[in-house]
């Protein structure tokens, strides 16, 4: 296999403890004549991520519009003496 038993044990312990490094995995892959491939996988679907982002942007835009409308109403109320 290209790896000493002690190296395999150390690698497994590091993996279990969450302390294994990419460099260690790269070295193990080399010893196994393999290529290390790692990825980040989203917890939600792409469609959900897009929808959440769209909602956040819409809320932000609506907040600005609401603020502008409130300022216009306040200015109009001051001119007309209304509350």
**16-72 pLDDT, tens per residue?**
999 999 998 998 899 889 999 999 988 999 999 999 999 999 999 999 888 888 888
pLDDT class of 77 with cuts at 50, 70, 90: low
pTM score, whole prediction: 0.48
Distances in Å between the Cα of 80 and the Cα atoms of 21, 44, 68, 69, 77 are 70, 52, 18, 16, 5
The boundaries of the domain holding residue 25 are 1-38
Whether residue 54 sits in one domain with residue 34: no
Give yes or no: residues 1 and 13 share one domain.
yes
Give CA separation, 68 vs 54, 59, 64, 72, 79, in Å: 21, 14, 6, 6, 17
Q: Same structural domain for residues 4 and 33? A: yes
Into how many domains does the chain fold? 2
Rounded (to 5) percent helix, strand, coil in the chain: 70, 0, 30
Query: Do 32 and 56 have their domain in common?
Result: no
Query: How many Cβ atoms are within 10 Å of 14's Cβ, its own excluded?
Result: 14
Dihedral (CA of 10, 11, 15, 21) sign: positive
């Amino acid at each position: 296999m290209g790896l000493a038993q002690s190296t395999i044990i150390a690698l497994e312990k590091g993996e279990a403890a969450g302390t294994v490094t990419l460099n260690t995995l790269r070295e193990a892959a080399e010893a196994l004549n393999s290529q290390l491939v790692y990825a980040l996988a989203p917890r939600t679907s792409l469609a959900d991520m897009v929808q959440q982002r769209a909602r956040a942007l819409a809320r932000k835009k609506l907040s600005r519009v609401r603020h502008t409308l409130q300022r216009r109403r306040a200015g109009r109320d001051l001119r007309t003496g209304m509350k």
